[in-house]
Amino acid sequence: EVQLVESGGGVVRPGGSLRLSCEASGFTFDDYGMTWVRQVPGKGLEWVSGINWNGDNTAYGDSVKGRFTISRDNAKNALYLQMSSLRVEDTAFYYCAKSTCGSGGFWCPLTAWGQGILVTVSS
């Protein structure tokens, strides 16, 4: 069974930094691209960032470009999102999701999702 478990969320001041982690199990992690999606409580979904199977291809949404960095450690079956220069509007649930591309990319549907982790940016 595919499992994705996010951690590292919490409360941070505007301008601060936080690193989210996603521990994956139940599938061959380094065969698949991965994606971060966020959701302001009560609002819609926003695509944040994607990474291919070996980490040499990444992309970001416009609202986080230059502030967030996605990475992965295939030896640890882990996905990360380093968030810096955080803003109040970054407050959201952050989901990691498995991208099911045969090529190991992230330009494909999201077939499995974690339960999400809340990040609150507040002074």
Binding mask 96-115 toward another protein (x if CB under 8 A, else -) reads: -x--------xxxxxx-xxx
Which residues on adjacent β-strands are paired with residue 3?
Answer: 25
d(CA 22, CA 33): 13
CB of 13 to another protein, least distance (A): 27
Q: Residue 89, class by beta-carbon neighbours within 10 Å (0-12 exposed, 13-18 middle, 19+ buried)? A: exposed
Which residues on adjacent β-strands are paired with residue 60?
Answer: 49
Span 12-71, contacts to another protein by CB under 8 A: 35, 37, 44-47, 50, 59-62
The verdict on 122 binding another protein (CB under 8 A) reads: no
| Contact footprint for another protein (CB under 8 A) | 35, 37, 44-47, 50, 59-62, 95, 97, 106-111, 113-116
